[in-house]
Amino acid sequence: MAATGLPITCKGCDRTAYVLGLFGNGRHYVKELIAANIGKRAIYLIEGFRYHPAPTSLIYTYHATIKYTRLLQDPPEVTSQLLHSVRSGFADLIFIYRHPLDSVLSNWVWMRTYFRHRSRGWGEDIRMAYRSTEDLCADLEKNFAEFKAFAEGDASFSASVPGPRFLSFAEYVEETTLFIECATLSLRLEDFMIDPLKEFSKLLRVMSVDLDTSALRLPLPRTELYRYRKVAERVPQFQAFIDELDPETKRRIERMGYQIDASGGALVS
């Protein structure tokens, strides 16, 4: 039995589904789509991970890492069990990601609020915290040293919270590429901004969910597409941060499907 009290016996061609993401990449949005639109199987949707040595109808969703043990992510030893289940054919791993430069801005806003006030405000945190991108830029310019410490994985940024620090930007990018390489299906949040039904249908096919999608009207993600570009235009220090990224991190971002501007400036899709 699952923690919900429901039987977890595999029905038909169901396999355990792990809908996974790092922080700040749209996992919560996809979780909401599943809960509202996947039909009867939505009763098996659980926040958190658990390994099963055989197929189940359960749908787990949470944050995890493959290589680094970091704050607020399930550690690599948990992820290795999930990946073993995927390789054995008992489960599918669906990984959600977005442009890392949008993620790092969102995560900085979320983490500084969490560390100061112990408040976990889920959702699109930039949208909730600022009236406009201009307000975000003003705050970033004023507190850029703090942002840079966060992006570089400086342990002092999270010193008020026990346990490991949060992922540095370079580690975040590396973890993203590792998950893309081993996921059954990888979905970009930006593609949901263009055609959410198309992307959601990919998820349904992987999960072998037979659902008539002709009448579905899916909401778009509650975020701004490629907000980091506006921030880079308005905050020279953020543009410099982008320009000074190490070559390996830039190559990894390119492998995600994002390109570097020919002028050598901000990264674009």
pLDDT digits (tens, 9 = 90+) for 247-258: 999 999 999 998
Mean of per-residue pLDDT scores for the chain = 89
Q: Is 23 exposed, middle or buried (0-12, 13-18, 19+ CB in 10 A)?
A: buried
- The CA-to-CA distance between both ends of the chain, in Å, stands at 44
pLDDT at 133 over 70: yes
Q: How confident is the model at residue 10 (pLDDT cuts 50, 70, 90)?
A: low
> What residues contact 202, with CB distance under 8 A and at least 6 apart?
185, 187
Q: Smallest Cα–Cα separation from 2: which of 37, 36, 51?
A: 51
Whole-model pTM over 0.85: yes
| DSSP class of 156 | G
CA distance 19 to 202: 13
Write the DSSP symbol of residue 6. Answer: -
Strand pairing category for 59-62 and 16-21:
parallel
Sheet of 91-97, strands arranged across? 45-47, 59-62, 16-21, 91-97, 185-188
Q: How far apart are CA 30 and CA 36, in angstroms?
A: 10
- Start-end of CATH 3.40.50 domains in the chain: 16-98+169-206
The confidence score (pLDDT) of residue 124 equals 47
Three-state SS at 74: strand
Mean pLDDT confidence for 73-91? 96
Q: Domain 16-98+169-206, CATH 1.10.3470 — does that match?
A: no
What whole-number percentage of the chain has pLDDT above 70?
88
Is residue 213 predicted with pLDDT exceeding 70? Answer: yes
Tell me: pLDDT of 70 over 90: yes
Could you give the percent of the chain with pLDDT greater than 90?
73
The predicted-structure confidence for 228-242, as pLDDT tens digits, reads as follows 999 999 999 999 999
